[in-house]
Chains A and B, each alone.
Chain A
Amino acid sequence: MSSSERKIADEIGKFVQPVKKGREMNNSGWIDGRIIVSNKRIILASNKGERKLPLEKIEDVGGRYDVNQKIAGVSDYVSLTLNGGNDIILLTSSEDTENLERSVFGAVLDHRYVLVKSPAVEGGVVQDTEWERSKLKTDEGELALALETGKLVSVELDDVSAFEATTRSVKGEKSGVLEVEHTSEEGSTVETHISSQKRIAEFVGSYVSRGLEETETAVELDETQRRVLVALYSGVSPFDIPDFLDKEVGDIEEIYERLIEAGVLEEVRVRREVDLTTRGRNMASEAMNE
């Protein structure tokens, strides 16, 4: 490696190319080898030789390409798209494929400069925020944006609820923009807008959409559970929900339990309902008469 090249990951794993020059390779099989990710390329080394993939040739990460049973049998792999989708290479690590995938995203995205508007929207209200130059950093479960002004915006992947690629005016020019809806540290729903060159935007989109796939769980809700969610969304206090919906506290607590287990709610604080003991009543009576 040259002095400017830095190793990011070095793993034992397998790789395969299920799509080559636009054709599905139905007979392809996994090759054992070593996978090295640096800030400039990905090297796939096996006893058949080495293959070097410059990072700038990788157009996207993600997707399933189960062209045969051998490949479909692996539940977790990283797919690299090259040459407009005409070449697809799959990687899997013997230890931690998720970590390998994060390394690939990090190799492409870390320390890249993008334009960011944050928050662009907060609580449904468009904010008067300016576009700022910002440095990207991928971390476990997070996309961190270090703005030029010193502000740090953290997009927790688990808190991403939606994202859309659109075109907007950015510093006077029409540009591609990723609009990412997520929960801020303060707990409100915000949109962070990210603008960059097309390839980087696609990578950012693929990276944040990993969080979206995890949040899109199919949870069957009955009418009362739906109303609980809508009421909470609209700002009704969780402690007021039983009265608001004319339900017993116990019934609502059970709903909260179920929705917490389903990952739809998170417990912030447990409050206790209390009552006076006989001793307590006596002490209160004495206090009143003092």
Chain B
Amino acid sequence: MSYRIIVVDDSEFMRTLLKEILEETDGFKVVDEAENGVEAVEKYEEHDADIVMMDIVMPIKDGIEATQEVKNTAESPNVIMCTSVGQEEKMKEAVKAGADGYITKPFEKPSVVSEIKDVVG
């Protein structure tokens, strides 16, 4: 089984980095990417993804609001926040919004893979 993943980050570089890590891992397939919360919700609905890798701070709509929206859908995908050092308060909001896990930038492949596997069980 291959988990369908959407990568959401306003930085193209960070999206590319995360895609590189995920696409090298068996069982993960990146089906699309988004650069803000509005696109994140649209792409999720378009692909009916299993997992959304969600950056927190983004323009137009942030990751917390986008997380709330996708978690309120019937399918409710797994949402893993991509956080940075110093975003502890934002992470608490993300958890309240329904986030299922988090990874910290800069990403280390073993911890990214481990966190996703923990979240999807």
For residues 74 through 113 of chain B, which have their beta carbon under 8 Å from a beta carbon of chain A? 104-111
Q: Are A234 and B110 CB-contacts (below 8 A) given A227-B13, A244-B16, A244-B20?
A: no
- Complex: A234 Cα to B110 Cα, angstroms: 9
- Complex: A157 Cα to B107 Cα, angstroms: 24
- Complex: A51 Cα to B110 Cα, angstroms: 54
Contacts of B114 in A (CB 8 A): 124-125
Interface residues as binary, B1-37 with A (CB distance below 8 Å gives 1, 0 otherwise): 0000000000001001100110000000000000000
A122 within 8 A of B: yes
Chain A interface secondary structure, helix, strand, loop or mixed?
A: mixed
Nearest A residue to B24 by beta-carbon distance?
Answer: A235
Chain B interface secondary structure, helix, strand, loop or mixed?
A: helix
Contacts of B21 in A (CB 8 A): 234-235
Interface residues as binary, A185-196 with B (CB distance below 8 Å gives 1, 0 otherwise): 000110000000
Q: Are A234 and B13 CB-contacts (below 8 A) given A125-B114, A244-B20?
A: no
Interface residues as binary, A223-265 with B (CB distance below 8 Å gives 1, 0 otherwise): 0000101110111100000001000000000000000000000
- Complex: A124 Cα to B102 Cα, angstroms: 12
Q: Cβ of B110 and Cβ of A236 under 8 Å apart? A: no
A85 within 8 A of B: no
Q: Cβ of B106 and Cβ of A234 under 8 Å apart? A: yes
Nearest A residue to B20 by beta-carbon distance?
Answer: A236
Q: Cβ of A125 and Cβ of B106 under 8 Å apart? A: no
Contacts of B109 in A (CB 8 A): 123, 234-235
For residues 123 through 138 of chain A, which have their beta carbon under 8 Å from a beta carbon of chain B? 123-125
- Complex: A123 Cα to B110 Cα, angstroms: 6
Q: Are A124 and B20 CB-contacts (below 8 A) given A227-B13, A230-B106, A233-B106?
A: no
Contacts of A233 in B (CB 8 A): 106-108
Nearest B residue to A223 by beta-carbon distance?
Answer: B13
Q: Cβ of B106 and Cβ of A122 under 8 Å apart? A: no
- Complex: A231 Cα to B20 Cα, angstroms: 10
Q: Cβ of B108 and Cβ of A189 under 8 Å apart? A: yes
- Complex: A124 Cα to B111 Cα, angstroms: 5
> Which chain B residues have a beta carbon within 8 Å of chain A's beta carbons?
13, 16-17, 20-21, 104-111, 114
The 6 closest A-B pairs by CB, nearest first: A124-B111, A123-B110, A235-B109, A124-B108, A125-B114, A233-B106
> Which chain A residues have a beta carbon within 8 Å of chain B's beta carbons?
122-125, 188-189, 227, 229-231, 233-236, 244
